[in-house]
Amino acid sequence: MLLAIRIGTASVWLLFGLVFKVLHLLPRHETIVAAVIGPGWAGPATVLIGVAEVGMALWILSRRWPVACAMAQTMVIVAMNALEITLAKEHLLSPVGMVCANAVFLALGWYLAVQTRRRQP
């Protein structure tokens, strides 16, 4: 079960980072970034955010420092959600749905972190 959660959570970061942002297969993400920081830097910033999300996926798969990883995920998601709801709400498909989905996602991330930490020597 932990392996499935690890692969699942890493896959979400990889999908959103690599596929949606770096490869630009969901341009709405750049639109959201543009609403937050302005259109001039939205393209490069979206790619950098995507690269960071790919890094998060690799961190999850590495099993290193699982509690720090869960903390980083929490801080990033809370910050991103707050900025998106405050500055780009009109571009979100479902702000309430996003927050609920991210709460479940973070709960899984923290479960994975705690269980991984318990199993490490």
Query: What are the phi and psi torsion angles at 34 (to 5°)?
Result: -60, -35
* Residue 94 pLDDT level (bands cut at 50, 70, 90): very high
Residue 73 scores a pLDDT above 70: yes
Is the pLDDT assigned to residue 22 strictly greater than 90?
A: yes
Beta carbons of 102 and 77 less than 8 angstroms apart: yes
Q: Please tell me the predicted confidence (pLDDT) of residue 121.
A: 63
120 has pLDDT over 90: no
Tokens linked to 15: 């999908």
Looking at residue 76, its amino acid is: V
**C-alpha closest to that of 80 among 68, 62, 92:** 92
pLDDT tens digit sequence for 26-56: 999 999 999 999 999 999 999 999 999 999 9
Q: Are 84 and 92 in contact (CB under 8 A)?
A: yes
Sequence-ordered alpha helix ranges (H) in 24-94: 28-37, 39-62, 66-87
Q: What is the pTM of this model?
A: 0.92
- Rounded-to-integer distance, Cα 104 and Cα 70, Å: 13
